[in-house]
Amino acid sequence: MTKDSSRAPGRPRRLRAALVLSAVGLLAVAGAVVLPGSASAATTLGASAAEQGGRYFGTAVAVNKLNDSAYTTILNREFNQVTAENEMKIDALQPQQGQFNFGNGDRLVQHARSRGMQVRGHTLAWHSQQPGWMQNMSGTTLRNAMLNHVTQVATHYRGQIAWWDVVNEAFQDGSSGARRDSNLQRTGNDWIEAAFRAARQADPNAQLCYNDYNIDNWTDAKTQAVYRMVQDFKNRGVPIDCVGLQSHFTGGSNYPGNYRTTLSSFAALGVDVHITELDIRNAPSDAYRNVVNDCLAVSRCKGITVWGIRDSDSWRSNESPLLFDGNGNKKAAYNAVLTALNSGNPGGGDPTPAPTTPAPGGCTATITPGQVWGDRYNTSVTVSGASTWSVVVVITAPQRISATWSGNPTWDGSGNVMTMRSNGSGNTFGFTTMMNGNSSARPQIRSCTVG
């Protein structure tokens, strides 16, 4: 290659003109002049998130600001999901016992749904923001008042809320991994699952989430404790669909490097994950970009909600943690987020799928919860990987199995451990369990053995 021919600018002028003309001609035939790289780049956060597998990008909204046109201009342009920052909390919705005030919540729901934005309900049960009458309650009275609140509110908004934060912030910070002490916790450890069951009953189509902060770092005791609760709920058929990571970060350094592992580990339990209250001190672009990429990398990460629109709207406005400045201008972090959304899934975040073929000599038994009555419930178990099998099922006392079908059962001395053997009637068996006063426990599979 000679020195001259290697230089594009050295091409004869007429040839260059012809190349340009034919390129324009081709584009004209195609019906559009499109600049490379800008073909379908969405220009707003919500539209861009929607292009990423139907995700959302949302914000917390203060309902009294819906009268501020600078605020609503950004809200309506950029976001396709909203969460009421305060207006659907217990003290706002039921200020006096039995007197519900849905006005502000309804206003937000109406504003959102008439514009195609999805609504996250926040929050049905929480130790904080309780009205005075509830703060003074305890025991069965409080438990019933809490369940009544869940039922009334979820019924009022039935069909309009995509996700409910059913329970918020029920675990302690620090290394204990324990539940947070609160008047609700003191009503009994099963208060959380009771709230989820009541919510499911009131609005069967809403996705039901557990929401918390400081569950971002996978190795933290609090993250592990919430993980074990969700795992337990899934095993026992407690109706939970999703986990919300609030993700209030205090700065670039406190965005944990294992955040993606946390998202994918929860997802591997069979729940969706949501980033529900994102804000980062001083809004570093890198940390915002990383959060977006981590969500996009995990299929079950359904969307991101920032906790406010402009820095001046933030609960910690002195830290300027949001995507718009006080004048409503886009900040550098906004551009980082939009670019990351438009760049798409960076990959690598999905949990390894569970093996579909059982290990040699093994079989898999899967529980499907069945009908529930006041005093008992049905369960069916489907076995894969073998045609003759024995499955060991464990029941929590004082619950007791009262009837079985499609298998030959034997029992250990305690009566709580049943071994069910195939009897040639197929690969699904079932049983009825009497609750005997414990309405929350559910059977677990201990093992599945071929032969």
- Which residues are the active-site residues? 277
- Three-state SS string across 283-332, please? CCHHHHHHHHHHHHHCCCEEEEEECCCEHHHCCCHHHCCCCECCCCCECH
Q: How many residues bind ligand 9MR (CB under 6 A)?
A: 7
How far apart are CB 88 and ligand 9MR at their closest, in Å?
Answer: 10
Candidates 85, 87, 203, 272; binder of ligand 9MR (CB under 6 A) is: 85
- Least distance to ligand 9MR, CB of residue 297, Å: 25
Which of residues 100, 102, 315, 405 is near ligand 9MR by CB under 6 A?
Answer: 315
User: Judged by CB under 6 A, does residue 277 bind ligand 9MR?
Assistant: yes
242-271 binders of ligand 9MR (CB under 6 A): 246
* Contacts to ligand 9MR from residues 90-149, by CB under 6 A: 129
- CA atoms of 325 and 25, how far apart (whole Å): 44
Residue 75 CB, nearest distance to ligand 9MR (Å)?
16
Residue 333 near residue 91 (C-beta atoms within 8 A): no
Q: How far apart are alpha carbons 355 and 389 in whole angstroms?
A: 19
CB of 169 to ligand 9MR, least distance (A): 7
Query: 85 vs 220, which CB is nearer to ligand 9MR?
Result: 85
Under a CB-based contact definition with an 8 Å cutoff, are residues 246 and 217 in contact? no
Antiparallel, parallel or unpaired: β 389-394 and 444-450:
antiparallel
Q: Which of residues 335-394 bind ligand 9MR (CB under 6 A)?
A: none
x/- site string to ligand 9MR, residues 36 to 75, per CB under 6 A? Answer: ----------------------------------------
- In angstroms and rounded to an integer, the radius of gyration of the C-alpha atoms of the chain is 27
Give the phi and the psi of residue 272 in degrees, each rounded to 5: -75, 160
Cβ nearer to ligand 9MR, comparing 305 with 342: 305
Please write down the HEC assignment for all residues of 346-392: CCCCCCCCCCCCCCCCECEEEEEEEEECCCEEEEEEEEECCCCEEEE
Q: What's the rounded Cα separation, in Å, for the pair 337 and 42?
A: 12
Lay out the site mask for ligand 9MR across 189-228 (x = CB under 6 A, - = otherwise).
------------------------x---------------
CB of 43 to ligand 9MR, least distance (A): 28
Residues of this chain that interact with ligand 9MR (CB under 6 A) are 85-86, 129, 213, 246, 277, 315
